[in-house]
Structure 1
Amino acid sequence: MAIVVALGTLLGAVPFGPVRFGPAGALFVGLAIGALDPRLGEGLGLVQTLGLALFVYTVGLAAGSGFFRDVRRQLPLMGGSVVVLAVVAGAAMAGGALLGLAPPLRSGAFAGAMTSTPALAAATSLAGTDEPAVGYSLAYPVGVTVTILVVAAVLARPWRARRDPDPVAGVGLVDISVEVDRGGRLGDIPGVADQRVRLSYLARGGRTRVVSPDEVLLPGDRVVVVGPAAAVAEVRDRLGRQVTEHLADDQRTVRFRRFLVSDPRVAGRTVGDLDVPGRFQGVVTRVRRGDLDLLAHDGLVLELGDRVRVVAPRGQLPGISALLGDSERKVSEVDALSLGVGLALGLLVGLVSVPLPGGLTFALGSAAGPLVVGMVLGRLERTGPIVWGLPNAANLTLRQLGLLLFLGATGLASGQAFAAQAFTGLGLRVVLLAVVLALVGAVLFVALARAVGTSAPRAAGGLAGFVGQPAILAYANGRAVDERIEAGYAALFALGIIAKILLVQVIGSG
């Protein structure tokens, strides 16, 4: 496994035209090494389960809040994706019959092209043979490769989305100093009352202090306005004019500083809950979360690892530091209690079986169970003293580790079957069918995303979830910093698994 992870990382960094396979390199290296000796692929079920559960659970934690906020917006994409999967299933039946493939091979090719291990399990149970596994092992790399190429094309040429709001990551924040010509109550200024901008410094009569929530601005005042460029320009035009002397450069009495949220008692609370104006005569202006720079507003929920920029009197800074924690060491530690409980809940939910017609059963499994639970816990943020969220750095580290373990173990376990059939006539027909299925599914899904007004980043993440492949999500995240990618993945992943499990049984029975 260590060799597969190391060599797979090297392969994933090699550019093939505009594409780098990233973590998917571990899958291809695993297939090559697993083909050398059948013993290398034995006994890896637990590694696959643990790796996959770690990956999808951490994705769920990160995407849960955004998913539930945007679920209404994503309903057309979710409903349409089920129709697209039904079309792909019909293509698998018709194409498989045309190529002379038996139903078990067709079902395996469908599961592999859509990279769905739970669907493979359902197909194997129905067939009672290993034929679906052969089709799966041949089609799986094809599904990953074709979909990554389509995602690369989507992100390389994004389109405007009429129904998708701009990402937080792409907005960018600016701060300027404005001299007030037309004063008034702070709450009456457009953009301030609805917290699209924040005001921090106030200079009046030769004295600089922090703006108070009930401030009345007077002509001649100078203030600092923070927010997206368009909203800041609107407030500037309402108040007066921009001046070149920036108030934030003078830190003799008032200072700005970033504090690290490391105290679990603060995580899961909102900016408004901290009451920084009332307790410290200061104001929170920005929150840095991973690569995202967020404008602070009273309803913004803080997470472990956030870097909070506060403007406050110099003497109040130690108190703010004590409140937020501001400890690199503490935020680097993973809360094993919340991680263990959350993963256990996800795996338990995955074990719940629902009876289906024909004596079959359906379960979310180790792929969708932890994802669904992670999304719910990510939305809850905390339960009493337990903070479910992970610091961003820890989340990304566990996510990458889980992904590499899962893909490497999958490659090692499938290497023998892949090598036995890859270069035979039967194998080539399965690969051809997989190419058709992957292309039909990806192209129809992208067309659907554009038709319902979804942005290119959300479509890329949704396509990764539609296909059900973590490596594709990792590739998309490597190409663009946009929170809509993970939200799209979370919206489609669990739904796709359920639909594929049902459809693969139709394919295998006919």
Structure 2
Amino acid sequence: MSAVSFAILAIAAVAVAGLMFGGIKVRGVSLGTAGVLLAGLIAGDLIGRAGGSVDSDMLSFAKEFGLLLFVFTTGIELGPGILRLLARRGASLNLMATGIVVLGLGSAMLAAWLLGLTPPAAAGLFCGATTNTPALAAAEQALSWRRSSESRENGVTGDAPAPTNDLRGGDSQDAAAVPSESHDRITDLTATYAVTYPGGVAGIILAMLLLRRLFRIDVATEARLLREQEAAEHEALERRCLLIDNRHLNGLPFGRLAGVEETGIRISRILRSDSNDVVAANDRTVLHPGDVIQVVGTRESLDRIEPSIGPKSDIDLTQRTGNVRVSRVFVTRSEILNRSLAELALDQLFGTTVTRIERAGIEMPARGATQLHFGDVVHVVGDPAAVEQTAALLGNSARSLQQTPFVPMFIGITAGILLGTIGIPVPGLATPVRFGLAGGPLLAGIAFGLVGSIGRLVWYIPSSANHALRQLGMILFLAAAGLGAGRTFLALAFSLEGAGWIVAGLLTTLLPLLIVGIVARVWAGQNYCILCGAMAGSMTDPPALSFAQSLTESESCSKAYAAVYPLTMLLRIVAAQLLVLLG
């Protein structure tokens, strides 16, 4: 069997075994896709003991491509609602994440002092315990810069031999030992990272479960309370029938009323004073005293405009006969994307009006300046023929909503990869900060999901396809990570020194999460779903996010994760380099 075929077989077998194991529930809790990591560790060790190996290039590709799929599709889904979350909870969530990073740095420094680890080994422990590969790369770069600096200071070219060094701080070496010592430091860094990384993933999940048990949290109740809280923060739209008694409105089109565009109020029906039939209305509809109109808006906006029109009417226009149809229409036609309702002028073209818009599960007023995005659901009111014409203009194609446009998707992935390679200079650090494959595609996905479309390029992935791609990406990542680390991890795990690293790494993971989680829950009353997402984001750990999503079945986890990710990534990269440079 070829190396490629064996690698694919190993990943598939690990995925099957891990998902089956992860599906087993103990007291209502299961590991879900995280079970794939455990299966991969065991399989990697067994393959190594049998004298075999899995092609490292194939594992690297599967791991990185899986990670990229997961974070990019997560970003696409988060894009439309991320600004709203940042405005409401961004400050508090990032304060939590900063506390977790600072406490984690302190825990790693304490563990290094107790175990007598070298600064590079301490940095490796910090990166592994917090599951942050970009921080590891940054630490390696900082170590290379430190080696060059020490060589220049001691006048060493790097050709002289040097004795080897272990993971503990030891006797000082002479100047000629700098190059070889630096090689040993790289080994220190990568070894402690490899040993503590699996425990870091497990530690985040364990912290979530411990907090759930400590506060006896019912996850379904927490998710329901969060939905109710979000609904209360976003004022719902309602209908109201008003009797026109202001004679100054006689002969005035509804769209010219003061405050209509500002408040987003829309008129949908009108009953003339001299008629028994209700007809459709729009901004061009001329008003007369004695008419009854039905308007749509938030309660606050309706209360504001009611005194200038007239009192509430006992007549419910939705229950009266008339040639009026209401239809929910999907926006799927690329030619009208990012065009505003005012530009489309549906009232002039067809005599219809859009009364409200649903986007990313949120209902919003249909202002003239509101631009339409792919997948928006607009409520169109008019006579039946006009509504059909409006639906044709907007697209309303159920088939388009089930298709994934792959060209924009791969453009977004390419942009994310390039974004991850861009160095961000940080004063005081020798090497620039980079977000890498874990951060670049996530930020690109959020940006493209927020924009929605550019010309005929549409960044939209159906919900079912998005979920499938995320799951596939995470399974590939965990299977490859487990197979790659299995033999090293289990061999060191049963040694005295390796066990010490694992325990230290697990405590570096657990203590900050539990301390901040308890404080956030007790003093701030933070919702458990939001808390889990912020904890996963503070560790920049996609597997933990996947577990949190399966545990809570709430997309709020992903939103909290994305809200803290950029700042957390920056802080962890800086912290890892500080451990190396200041040690």
TM-score between both structures, scaled by the size of structure 2:
0.72
Partner of 1:421: 492
Partner of 1:149: 209
For 1:269 and 1:453, locate their aligned partners in 2 and report how far apart those are by CA, in whole Å.
41
CA 1:67–1:260: 2 relative to 1, 3 Å? closer
Q: CA deviation at 1:344?
A: 0.9
More displaced 10-residue stretch of structure 1: 496-505 or 449-458: 449-458
Q: Kindly indicate whether the alpha-carbon contact (under 8 Å) linking 1:288 and 1:306 is maintained by their aligned counterparts in 2.
A: yes
Q: Larger C-alpha radius of gyration, 1 or 2? A: 2
CA 1:426–1:242: 2 relative to 1, 3 Å? farther
Q: Match of 1:36, SS?
A: helix
Partner of 2:504: 433
Deviations along 1:459-481, one digit per CA (max 9) or x if unpaired, are 44332211112233334444567
**In the alignment, is residue 202 of structure 1 matched against residue 264 of structure 2?**
no
**In the alignment, is residue 267 of structure 1 matched against residue 329 of structure 2?**
no
Q: Match of 2:337, SS?
A: coil
**In the alignment, is residue 377 of structure 1 matched against residue 448 of structure 2?**
yes
Partner of 1:495: 567
For 1:402 and 1:320, locate their aligned partners in 2 and report how far apart those are by CA, in whole Å.
39
Identity %: 27
For 1:450 and 1:188, locate their aligned partners in 2 and report how far apart those are by CA, in whole Å.
51
Partner of 2:15: 5
Residue of 533, 538, 556 corresponding to 1:466: 538
For 1:106 and 1:276, locate their aligned partners in 2 and report how far apart those are by CA, in whole Å.
64
Deviations along 1:348-379, one digit per CA (max 9) or x if unpaired, are 12223467878655422111111222333333
Q: Hey, which of these two has a bigger chunk of strand by percent?
A: 1
Q: Give the gaps of 5 or more residues in structure 2.
A: 1-10, 144-184
Q: CA deviation at 1:347?
A: 0.6
Mapping of residues 467-486 of structure 1, within 5 Å? 467-478=539-550, 484-486=556-558
**One-letter amino acid of the structure 2 residue matched with residue 146 of structure 1:** L
Mapping of residues 75-474 of structure 1, within 5 Å? 75=91, 77-78=93-94, 81-99=97-115, 103-123=119-139, 126=143, 127-129=185-187, 130-149=190-209, 156=219, 166-167=229-230, 178-180=240-242, 194-195=262-263, 199-204=267-272, 205-213=275-283, 216=287, 221=292, 223=294, 225=296, 239-240=311-312, 247=318, 253-289=323-359, 292-298=361-367, 300-353=370-423, 360=431, 362-446=433-517, 447=519, 457-474=529-546
Q: Kindly indicate whether the alpha-carbon contact (under 8 Å) linking 1:44 and 1:413 is maintained by their aligned counterparts in 2.
A: yes
Q: Kindly indicate whether the alpha-carbon contact (under 8 Å) linking 2:267 and 2:282 is maintained by their aligned counterparts in 1.
A: no
Q: CA deviation at 1:452?
A: 7.8
Q: Kindly indicate whether the alpha-carbon contact (under 8 Å) linking 1:104 and 1:132 is maintained by their aligned counterparts in 2.
A: no
For 1:368 and 1:58, locate their aligned partners in 2 and report how far apart those are by CA, in whole Å.
12
Q: Kindly indicate whether the alpha-carbon contact (under 8 Å) linking 1:169 and 1:481 is maintained by their aligned counterparts in 2.
A: no
Q: Give the gaps of 5 or more residues in structure 1.
A: none
Q: CA deviation at 1:172?
A: 8.8
CA 1:361–1:224: 2 relative to 1, 3 Å? closer
Q: Match of 1:265, SS?
A: helix
Partner of 2:38: 28
Q: Match of 1:206, SS?
A: coil
Q: CA deviation at 1:508?
A: 4.7
**One-letter amino acid of the structure 1 residue matched with residue 405 of structure 2:** D
**One-letter amino acid of the structure 1 residue matched with residue 40 of structure 2:** G
Residue of 65, 90, 111 corresponding to 1:50: 65
Q: CA deviation at 1:25?
A: 3.1
**One-letter amino acid of the structure 1 residue matched with residue 34 of structure 2:** A
Q: Match of 1:462, SS?
A: helix
CA 1:70–1:2: 2 relative to 1, 3 Å? same
More displaced 10-residue stretch of structure 1: 24-33 or 233-242: 233-242
CA 1:360–1:225: 2 relative to 1, 3 Å? closer
CA 1:134–1:398: 2 relative to 1, 3 Å? closer
Q: CA deviation at 1:66?
A: 3.6
CA 1:57–1:110: 2 relative to 1, 3 Å? same
Cα-Cα RMSD: 4.2
For 1:382 and 1:102, locate their aligned partners in 2 and report how far apart those are by CA, in whole Å.
50
Q: CA deviation at 1:197?
A: 6.2
Q: CA deviation at 1:270?
A: 4.3
**One-letter amino acid of the structure 2 residue matched with residue 200 of structure 1:** S
Q: Match of 1:253, SS?
A: coil
For 2:105 and 2:432, locate their aligned partners in 1 and report how far apart those are by CA, in whole Å.
20
CA 1:432–1:322: 2 relative to 1, 3 Å? same
Q: Match of 1:262, SS?
A: coil
More displaced 10-residue stretch of structure 1: 14-23 or 329-338: 14-23
Q: Match of 1:87, SS?
A: helix
Q: Kindly indicate whether the alpha-carbon contact (under 8 Å) linking 2:331 and 2:396 is maintained by their aligned counterparts in 1.
A: yes
Q: Match of 1:333, SS?
A: coil
More displaced 10-residue stretch of structure 1: 184-193 or 293-302: 184-193
**One-letter amino acid of the structure 2 residue matched with residue 279 of structure 1:** L
- Number of residue-to-residue matches in the alignment: 503
For 2:238 and 2:540, locate their aligned partners in 1 and report how far apart those are by CA, in whole Å.
41
Q: CA deviation at 1:94?
A: 0.5
CA 1:181–1:318: 2 relative to 1, 3 Å? closer
For 1:221 and 1:418, locate their aligned partners in 2 and report how far apart those are by CA, in whole Å.
75
CA 1:261–1:89: 2 relative to 1, 3 Å? same
Deviations along 1:125-149, one digit per CA (max 9) or x if unpaired, are 6431141333333423333323432
For 1:269 and 1:137, locate their aligned partners in 2 and report how far apart those are by CA, in whole Å.
48
More displaced 10-residue stretch of structure 1: 35-44 or 308-317: 35-44
Q: Kindly indicate whether the alpha-carbon contact (under 8 Å) linking 2:128 and 2:194 is maintained by their aligned counterparts in 1.
A: no
**One-letter amino acid of the structure 1 residue matched with residue 277 of structure 2:** R
Q: CA deviation at 1:254?
A: 1.6
TM-score between both structures, scaled by the size of structure 1:
0.81
Q: Match of 1:491, SS?
A: helix
CA 1:465–1:138: 2 relative to 1, 3 Å? closer
Q: CA deviation at 1:389?
A: 4.2
